[in-house]
Homo-oligomer: A and B are copies of this chain.
Amino acid sequence: MNKEKLNSKYKDLAEFYGYRIPLNEFFQCSLSVDCVVFGYHHNDVKVLLIKRGAEPFMGKWALPGDLMYPDENLNCAAMRVLRDLTGIENLFMEQAHTFGEKDRHPIGRVITVSYYALVNIEDYNPKPHSWAKDLEWHSLSNIPELAFDHRNILSGAMQKLRTNLWSRPVGLNMLPQKFTLNDVQQLYELILSEKFDKANFRKRMLNSDFITPLEEQQSNVRHRPAKLYKLTDNLNPKS
């Protein structure tokens, strides 16, 4: 079956390459995608998990993930899988890391590509679909046992988020559309597990081009209202 699908013009090329197995035997891997959706809510960072309603790891919590169809582009597969399992549509996700340990999946050789995104939890209303039997936002400080190597995949995405926080406005997608500098500082301190000096943090953030001041202030607050900011346009995450 693989042999027929391989372009016949190239089928006998294995000898040129000196491979120790026939060329068609290379074509026995499967690709999957796993989606790490981080959400911010009430000064806590959470991740969206599904409860698996299918073997393997039936009943375990897991990142929303599934196999890529053979006729599907990889990036499209990530968006399709997230939509199929959680109903979340058109979420821009960035590739995080590819995991290719040979025994990572009990069914066969499955290499998985992880994607991540950051959202404001209030903007989404995910529901379990397809073989996902349940779905919940879990605080990063209290993650249950996860299926496959999903604990590793989650850690890798978290590391990526931390690394990118100062070089790109990735974390700011988690905030509401209008936010204060204090909101930004709380988010950064939470993600980086680090306290920052207020004046220095403000200077660094205002120098970053990540945010743009609005001609507005907070309303309905007891303290002196703080200036509001928005995410600077056209600063989408890049790979």
Binding site for B on A (CB under 8 A): 1-2, 5-7, 9-10, 13, 16-21, 23, 25-31, 53-56, 66-75, 77, 95, 97-102, 106-109, 111, 113, 130-131, 156, 159-160, 163-164, 166-168, 238-239
Contact = CB atoms under 8 A, between A and B. Distances in A.
Identical chains bound together, number: 2
Given A163-B238, A168-B163, A70 B26 contact: yes
Contact of A13 (B55, B68, B160): B55
B102 A73 contact: yes
Contact of A30 (B13, B16, B29, B98): B29
A157 to B, nearest CB: 10
B102 A7 contact: no
Given A16-B131, A71-B102, A168-B163, A28 B27 contact: yes
Given A28-B28, A98-B95, A108-B5, A21 B74 contact: no
A106 B7 contact: yes
A108 B7 contact: yes
Contact of A107 (B7, B75, B98): B7
A147 to B, nearest CB: 14
Given A6-B107, A29-B27, A69-B21, A55 B100 contact: no
A104 to B, nearest CB: 9
